[in-house]
Amino acid sequence: MRPHVIWAVVRKEVAAGWASPRFQVSGWLIVLLSVVVSLAAADEYASRRNLWKRLQEESEKSLQEAQTWSGLSPLLLRPPEPLALFAQGFDSRLGREVAISTFSVPRQLSGDYRGNDFALHRNDLDLTTVVGVLLGFSALLLAFDAFTQERERRTGKLLAAAGVAPLELFVGKYLGLGVLLNLPLGLAAASSLALFARRHLLPLDASTLARLGGLVATYEIYLSLLVLLGVTVSLVSADSSRALSRLLFVWLVIFLAVPYVALNFGRESVAQRRLEREIERQVAAWEDGDLKALERDVKQEPLLAASSGYDSIFQIPDPEDRHVRFVRYGTASFYEATARVVAREIERGRHTAKRAFDAREGVAVRRRARERLAKGASLLSPSYVLDRIAESWAGTAAEDHDRFLGACRSFREQFLGHMDEKEVVRSWRWFTDDTRETLRPWPDFLDLTPADITPENRDAAIQLLYSPPASTRMEEHMERAGRDEARRVPVADLPRFDYTRPAAGEAARRSLPELGWLLALHLGLSAAALGWMRPARDVFGARA
């Protein structure tokens, strides 16, 4: 192989391709669409980031204002991934937050960044889509007649006469088309980067730059594969029309149809959903069992089983979570009894939470197996593989989501450990902001003692409590207590959730199998092309 010959072919391909209407139309279309898609992606990301910041502020505020430990539920928010600007992946789909609770182990995130439920496309357009679909298509449209046009225009004879070897021509055309396609790719990527950097959406740290580098390298490998495919098909086809038709079939069946069909089939199954529903019934039965046990414990405590002047008439149940309690204006003995019952409830609840988590994970294993089959079949499609690798680099893959969930579970353990260290589970502070020093049983507002209240006169006493002057005194006390910071849960030493994105190295390691597959496809196509370029074959169509 002679480098100067290859270089001459490269220059000729670039010059001819640059001047061709095909390249001009596709190139500008790609750049234009990239800018439009990037503008939209930037807006979406900015609004997600703002939402995330606001939710964080609100979460912090509600932590600071918590009055009981049962009401303390740190909200862990998954930060929107900056590189989702290039590959949305699962970033907007799988939820963004989880509230840490003693009674459940995090398995799914709630809330999402999906946007409009009724929209045509739900936040799934990004630069990777433009590269995968448009640039990939353009690669095929530029490469399909690499060899066939030499035959059709009879320039093959000239090349054969000039002593150009088929392999030199092949490599020259492949490299020339690669250089050509890098022009719109470079322009698209540069304009997107400039847009994001100008709006300060991208942190330009080493990890982000490394990931960006990985992303661009992936785009290059993908484009290279498509150019190789186009040139190889052109090599083996009799004419341009046939070459293009063949490429279209390959593109339609392998690039599009295979992943569409496989992923549609892999999505869900009736049997799986029935299993999941069965598990949910089982979990509900365990939780009902815990509730019944709680009711039995309550019946065994005289101060909890019957109303009197010793209990609290001020109870705020949380409709969203039956475990969150807030009571006030009870007596020390009432609170002691409640603490005993609540401690047992929490122990049962933690055990049930673990059982429920294990049961659900057990069922999810089957679902994952089915999904792996669908993903495996889809790997036939290079555009699908490109999307997966891009997601790994961008940190928007399903594995990144699961990594975040894993971090949430670890934090929950730390949080529970912190509460155990502080021994809050067996203390009053779990359910009331009253202390021994600030105790004020409700009969006190009527200038009575708890012992003065009997089951017979309790209703009348409560009626009096709701009338002035008792009701006014109680409302004033409630207002003062609400403002009293000493009644808040001390959160200064609470463990803080700190989540960092996986390092670029981990992203690289994760995408190695798919990258290896793309390179294997390269090798396969190259071997096929080399096999076709046997001496006996008339690659240039020089013979009449």
Partner 1 sequence: MGNRAAAVVFVHEVRQIVGSLRFAFVFVALAVLLALTALPAATRFELEREEHKEVARAFEAALEAGTVGGFTDQRVPAVKPPWPLLFAVEGGQMATPNRYYQELSRLSLPRLAHTEDGEARLPAVPPLDWMLVVRVALSLAAFVLCHDAVSTEREARSSRLVWSQPVTRGQLLLGKFLAYQTCLALPVAVGAAASALLFSAATGVALAPVAGKLACVLALGLWILAIYVLVALWFASHIREAATCLTVLLFTWVASVVVAPAVADIAARRLAPLPSEVAVKRHLEKIYDDVHAELAGRSERWRGKAGAVDGFAGEKLSLRAANVTYTRQEEFWRQVLRGRLDQARLARDLASVSPAYLVQGVAERLAGTGLGREHSFLEQVRYYRVMLAATIRAMDLQDPESHHFYFVSDYLSKRRLPAGGIDTFAFRELTLCEGLAASWRVLLVLLGETLLLAWATRRAFVNQAVG
Pick out residues in 55-114 that bind partner 1 (CB under 8 A): 55, 89-90, 93-95, 108-110
Q: How many CB atoms lie within 10 A of CB 519?
A: 13
Binding to partner 1 (CB under 8 A) within 429-488 occurs at 459, 462-463, 465-467
Distance CA 232, CA 218 (A): 21
Q: Which stretch binds partner 1 (CB under 8 A): 222-230, 248-256, 419-427, 497-505?
A: 248-256
268 binds partner 1 (CB under 8 A): yes
Member of 256, 298, 407, 533 binding partner 1 (CB under 8 A): 256
Interacting positions 117-136 with partner 1 (CB under 8 A) = 117-122, 124-125, 133-134
Residue 16 identity: A
Give the Cα separation of 439 and 436 in Å (integer): 5
- Is 145 one of the binding residues for partner 1 (CB under 8 A)? yes
**Residue 262 phi, psi dihedral angles, 5° rounding:** -60, -45
245 near partner 1, judged by CB under 8 A: yes
**Is residue 18 part of the contact set for partner 1 (CB under 8 A)?**
no
* Binding to partner 1, residues 21-60 (CB under 8 A): 22, 25-26, 29, 33, 36-37, 39-40, 43, 47, 50-51, 54-55
Q: Which of residues 485-544 bind partner 1 (CB under 8 A)?
A: none
User: Nearest distance from residue 141's CB to partner 1, in Å?
Assistant: 6
Q: Does 264 bind partner 1 (CB under 8 A)?
A: yes
| CA gap 139, 331 in Å, rounded | 79
CB of 421 to partner 1, least distance (A): 33
- CA gap 523, 228 in Å, rounded: 10
Closest CA to 229 of 531, 525, 540: 525
Contact of 297 with 403, CB cutoff 8 Å = no
Residue 127 near residue 391, CB atoms below 8 Å: no
Q: How far apart are CA 18 and CA 94, in angstroms?
A: 43
Kindly tell me which residue out of 252, 306, 451, 486 binds partner 1, with binding defined by CB under 8 A.
252
With binding defined as CB under 8 A, does residue 220 bind partner 1? no
Element (H, E) at 315: strand 314-315
Helix axis angle for 166-198 and 136-143, nearest 10°, is: 150
Closer to partner 1 by CB, 119 or 194: give it.
Answer: 119
Q: Of the ranges 75-83, 268-276, 342-350, 437-445, which one interacts with partner 1 (CB under 8 A)?
A: 268-276
First vs last C-alpha separation in the chain: 27
396-425 residues near partner 1, rule: CB under 8 A: 398, 402
Q: Report the alpha-carbon distance of residue 3 to residue 8 in Å, rounded.
A: 9
Binders in 329-358 for partner 1, by CB under 8 A:
none
Q: How many residues line the site for partner 1 (CB under 8 A)?
A: 85
CB of 344 to partner 1, least distance (A): 27
